[in-house]
Chain A
Amino acid sequence: MSLLSRLGPKSQSQGQSQKTFKSSTSPLGRAFLNSDATAAASAVALGPTYGILGSVGGDVDLAAAESESEVDVSLADLAAADDAIDEARAQFNAGNYPDAFATYNYAAQLIHNNAASTARWFLAALFQLNLNLYSLAVKGDETLANSHQKTRCLEEAARTMNKAFSVCATDRFNNINQSRKWGVYYICNLLFRTYFKLNQINLASNLIRSFRGVDLPDLSLYPIAHVVTYRYYMGVLAFYDEQYRKAQDDLSFALINFAPLTTPARIHNRKLLLTHLIPINLLSGISPSDVVYSNHPELSDLFGDLVNAIEAGKLGSFDELLQRKQKGLIRAGVYLTIERCRIICFRNLARRVFLIRGKPTRLELQDILTAVTVAGCEADMDEIECMVANLIDKGLLKGYISHEKLMLVLSPNNAFPSLDSVPV
C-alpha cells in the first residue's frame, strides 16, 4: 500500500482541465479528453480486455459521443488512478489480493470523482471498473478470512459502487441518448450481488428507494442482460419478502428472457432462478416440466420427488422427503416455501377423494382421514378437521365443516378453485 501514501490526497491541479490532447497525459486522462471508450476500458482492466463495449446498449455511436457539459477533469487524479491500477495489477499478479483491492479501490474512487464530465461512452469502462472491484474484493476477503482476519473489502467495495451508482443516476447534463443513466441498472445489479454476498439484503431496499425521483428511460429500453439480472434480483427479494405474486412475475419474466442470452452464465443463472421459481409456482399449482429436469439434473434431485408427492397428494412421502431434503432446501433458501406446499399436497389429496367419490356435495371427514392414512401419514380426526379448516380458511376449498356430523359440506360449484386463482 506504499503507493497510497506516495500519492497523497486528491490532487488540486484543476488547472490542467482543458480539452486538448496531450501526449504527456496518462492513458486514462487521454481517454477522458478524447471520450475514448476503448482506451478507458483498457486503462481500468486488470487483464487483457474483452468485448465489454457492447454492454452500454442502444446503437450509440461511441466515437461520436460529444458531451455538452464543461470538461472538468483533474488529469492529475486520473494519472494517479493510472498508477494505482498499475500497482493493483502487480499486486493482483503477485496474489496479494487485499492490497490489490485497496489500491484498485483507491483508483476507482479517483475515477468516480472525475466522472461528472463523462457521458454514455464511459459506461463500458465504468462497468469493468466496478466488476473488477467486486472480484478483487471477493478475493481479498477470501484471503483475509483464510488468515483469520476481519473481512472488509466487499463492504468498502459497496461504498465505492454506491458512488458509481450516483455517477450514473445523477447525470443532468447529457441528453438522454448520451446519458450515463444507461448504466444505472448494471451498477444496481452489481450492488445487489454485493449485498447478497455480504448477506445484507436489507440494504437492497435503500437502493431500490434511491430509484424514486430519478427520471430514467423505460426499463424495456435497457440492454436485456441488465434487465434480466435486475428482474431476477427483484424477484428473489420479493421471494424473501414472501410477496410471491411479485416474485413470480419478476422471475417468470427473467426466465422467458434468458433465451437470447447465449452465454455459459445463462445456464447457471437459470438454475438459480428456477430454484426460487419452482417452489412459488408449486403454490400456484404449476409444476416444472421434464425439460427443466433434463436441463438441470440438480433441480430434479432437489425437487423431482417432492413435486410428484405434492401433485399426487402423497402426504406421507411429502413429509418424509421434506425431512430428507431439508439440508439442500435450506441451503437453497427455499425450505419454508416448500414447507408451505404441504397444504397444497393435502388439498390435492382431498380433491382426489372428492373425485373418487364422484364429486359429491358432502364428504365424510372419515373418508379424508382414511386417505391420509393410506398416504402414509399418521393423523387423528382432530388433525383432519384442523387441516380441512385450514383449506377453507386459505380459500383452497369452498365449503364448511359440520363438526357434529364430522361431515364436510362442499360448495356445489367449483369446490376446489384452481390454485392460480387463490392468492398465495
Chain B
Amino acid sequence: MVSKTDDKKAAPAAAAATAKPEEKKKVVSTIEEDDEFEDFPSADKEVIGWDAVEAAEKELNAWKDSWEDDDNETDFAVLLAAEKKKVSSAMKM
C-alpha cells in the first residue's frame, strides 16, 4: 500500500507535524476532533495526479460481491430449516 515515493514525502510531512503541533494534539486529545475530515497535507498533491488513480484503484477492495447466496448451509439457515421441518410435521399430526 505504501509506495516508494512516500519516503520523499515523509520529510515535509514531518515538518508539517512540527510546524503544527497544535493540530496533531487536537486530533488525539478529544473525541469530537476525530469526526473531522482532515486536510490532505499538500506535499503529495503535485507528485501524484489523476494518472495514478487507475493503477491504484483496486487497492482497497472494500466490498463483498454479494450476499444474495442461495446457500442454505449457514448455521442460522440450518436452524431455520430444522424449525420448518418441526412445524410441518406438527401440522400433519
Contact = CB atoms under 8 A, between A and B. Distances in A.
B partners with A: yes
A13 B38 CA distance: 40
A203 B56 CA distance: 35
B41 to A, nearest CB: 5
Contacts of B22: 135, 139
Contacts of B61: 289, 291
B45 A374 contact: no
Interface stretch (A113-121, A308-316, A403-411): A308-316
A288 interface: yes
B9 A287 contact: no
Could you say which interface size class chain B belongs to? 35 or more
Nearest to B34: A268
Given A54-B42, A54-B47, A261-B40, A281 B84 contact: no
A356 interface: yes
Given A135-B22, A193-B36, A224-B49, A355 B70 contact: yes
Interface string B43-63: 111111110110011011111
A178 B40 CA distance: 23
B89 interface: no
Interface string A275-319: 000000100011111011001000000000000000111100000
Interface string A154-196: 0000000000000000000000000000000000001001001
Given A196-B36, A262-B6, A311-B67, A50 B43 contact: yes
A379 to B, nearest CB: 15
A52 interface: yes
A131 B60 contact: no
Given A54-B47, A356-B77, A367-B84, A193 B62 contact: no
A292 B26 CA distance: 26
Contacts of B83: 370-371, 374
A323 interface: no
A268 B26 CA distance: 14
Given A139-B22, A224-B49, A269-B37, A262 B2 contact: yes
A138 B22 CA distance: 10
Given A287-B64, A367-B84, A55 B3 contact: no
A371 B57 contact: no
Contacts of A255: 60, 62
Contacts of B41: 50, 263-265
A198 to B, nearest CB: 12
A122 to B, nearest CB: 15
A197 B32 CA distance: 9
Given A51-B43, A127-B42, A223-B45, A262 B53 contact: no
A55 B43 CA distance: 7
B36 A266 contact: no
A48 B41 CA distance: 14
A232 B45 contact: no
A210 interface: no
A263 B40 contact: yes
B3 A356 contact: no
A286 B63 contact: yes
A295 to B, nearest CB: 7
Interface string A46-65: 11111111110100000000
A47 B36 CA distance: 22
A348 B76 CA distance: 12
Given A258-B60, A262-B3, A367-B87, A285 B67 contact: yes
A408 B20 CA distance: 63
B1 to A, nearest CB: 8
A355 B72 contact: yes
Nearest to A374: B83
B62 A220 contact: no
A258 B37 CA distance: 13
Interface string B26-38: 1100000011111
Nearest to A257: B53
A266 B44 CA distance: 12
Interface string B1-16: 0110110010011011
A374 B38 contact: no
Interface of B: 2-3, 5-6, 9, 12-13, 15-16, 18-20, 22-23, 26-27, 34-50, 52-53, 56-57, 59-64, 66-68, 70, 72, 74, 76-77, 79-81, 83-84, 87
27 contacts: A49-B19, A55-B42, A193-B36, A224-B49, A229-B40, A256-B53, A256-B57, A258-B60, A259-B52, A261-B48, A263-B13, A264-B41, A265-B41, A268-B34, A281-B63, A285-B68, A286-B66, A292-B60, A295-B60, A348-B67, A352-B76, A356-B84, A357-B84, A370-B87, A374-B83, A375-B80, A419-B68
Q: Lowest 4 CB-CB distances: which A-B pairs, in order? A: A54-B46, A259-B56, A55-B42, A47-B19
